[in-house]
Amino acid sequence: MLQTSPREKTIVHILKPITVLTSFFTMMLPVLTSAQAATDISPAIKTPDRVETRIGLCDSRGLPQHWR
């Protein structure tokens, strides 16, 4: 049998709970960080695909149509 010192026993007693908690949170991370998809987007905050401006028709990137 291997003999362990009191210092080694203390280290093991400290590291065991830390290891268990780290494992638990690593397994739970995908559940805790999963995004919730919205079912409907309010028409008040939707952005149109094209907008008529004084420099011409602009696309969703903000570039005039003749610059493509």
Delimit the domains of the chain by residue range.
1-33
pLDDT in tens, 11-45: 888 999 999 999 988 888 877 666 666 667 777 77
Tokens representing residue 17 in the block: 């709970």
Does the predicted model carry a pTM greater than 0.75?
A: no
Flag whether pLDDT at 52 surpasses 90.
Answer: no
Is residue 23 within 8 Å of 31, Cβ to Cβ? no
Please choose, from the candidates 29, 34, 59, the residue with its C-alpha nearest in 3D space to the C-alpha of residue 47. Answer: 59
Q: What is the structure's pLDDT at 18? A: 93
The pLDDT value given to residue 68: 58
* Residue 51 vs residues 42, 60, 66: alpha-carbon distances, Å: 19, 8, 13
pLDDT of residue 19: 93
Using CA atoms in the order 19, 20, 22, 25, what is the torsion angle rounded to 10 degrees?
A: 170
